[in-house]
Amino acid sequence: MHDLIILGGSAAGVTAAIYAARRQLDIKLIAGDIGGEIATTDIIENYPGYVKVGGLELAEKFKEQLKYNNVSVDEGWLAKKIEKKDNYFVVTAKNFSDKEKTYETKTVIVATGVHPRHLGVPGEKELFHRGVTYCAVCDAPLFKNKIVAVVGGGNSALESALMLGEIAAQVFFLNRNPQFKGEAVLIEKVKKHSKITVLTRATTQKILGEKSVTGVEYEDAAGQTQQITVNGIFVHVGWEPNADFIDLVKKNTKGEIMVDQNSATDVPGIFAAGDVTDTAYKQIIVAAGMGATAALSAVNFLNKK
């Protein structure tokens, strides 16, 4: 029987594990990989202690700190369900081969993060991994000296466009809104980049191609249908919470787990932290802070039992 099971290996989960380990709890961290979406980020410039750090580098630092604190990690496993028993919980996880294992624990912290939202347009699903991608860090090198499109308007899309601007021959940036929603520093860099063509009020309607992506169809500001020829399309239109596996706790209409100021859910003993929750600000540093809060709240909960 564990004192605490932590689900998720990004900033929230790793921070929770470090804090819980230092309180000498019997813990287990379960994650598909350490770093999560952070590992798919090219450059991070707003994390204290680093003027500039690559996402993969920061993920490696997470691993080092987990090892330093002797945190037991089951990597390559994803949460499948959480069941409540009399005074404990049973967590079921599965690996990428669909093998399952179960864990018994007194408390749980859900820090499973998010996954990319899909456009939901024709051609997106059919051409996934054949020119359609959701990760510039993973796939940008495949499009060296080629023409690509980026769809979105927030920080992820801006960062993707800037990275691709250094690799691709040309980048078309399709933003369905009249304004960007990201950081001003990133917006200015995109606007000044010679290889990036910004198209605002451009609503993606269809991804073209048979064996691979050959173009994208969109509706322009005048309501006219336009097409551009591209070899790849990078989709960054938001995130969906990884919370479908848990039905015990209350969620909002977006499917995010609802928590109070102590990162507690409406089920005593289950806490949640990071982007999987209804926190207004989906930032690495915010997730880390919530992870610490969740761990300390779990400690307090256990001390009262």
Lowest model confidence (mean pLDDT) among 38-42, 174-178, 251-255, 288-292: 38-42
Report the catalytic residues.
Answer: 135, 138-139
Lowest model confidence (mean pLDDT) among 27-31, 41-45, 179-183, 274-278: 41-45
Query: What global pTM score does this model have?
Result: 0.89
How does pLDDT run across 161-196, given as a tens digit for each residue? 999 999 999 999 999 999 999 999 999 999 999 999
- Name the residue range of residue 132's domain: 118-236
Same domain, 291 and 228: no
Same domain, 123 and 64: no
Write down the pLDDT at residue 40. 86
Residue 156: pLDDT band (50, 70, 90) is very high
Same domain, 45 and 106: yes
Same domain, 15 and 66: yes
How does pLDDT run across 71-129, given as a tens digit for each residue? 999 999 999 999 999 999 999 999 999 999 999 999 999 999 999 999 999 999 999 99
**Statement: residue 1 has pLDDT above 90:** yes
Same domain, 177 and 271: no
**Statement: residue 305 has pLDDT above 90:** no
Residue 244: pLDDT band (50, 70, 90) is very high
Same domain, 227 and 244: no
Same domain, 28 and 134: no
In the chain, % of residues over pLDDT 90: 95
Write down the pLDDT at residue 29. 99
For residue 137, give the CATH number of its domain: 3.50.50.60
For the chain, how many structural domains are there in total? 2
Last residue of a domain, one of 208, 236, 264: 236
Same domain, 108 and 131: no
Last residue of a domain, one of 214, 236, 258: 236
Same domain, 217 and 129: yes
Give the mean pLDDT of 242-254: 97
Same domain, 254 and 110: yes
Same domain, 149 and 177: yes
Give the mean pLDDT of 12-19: 98
Average pLDDT score over the chain? 96
**Statement: residue 49 has pLDDT above 80:** yes
Same domain, 127 and 223: yes
Last residue of a domain, one of 209, 236, 263: 236
Residue 137: pLDDT band (50, 70, 90) is confident
Residue 103 · residue 1 · CB < 8 Å: no
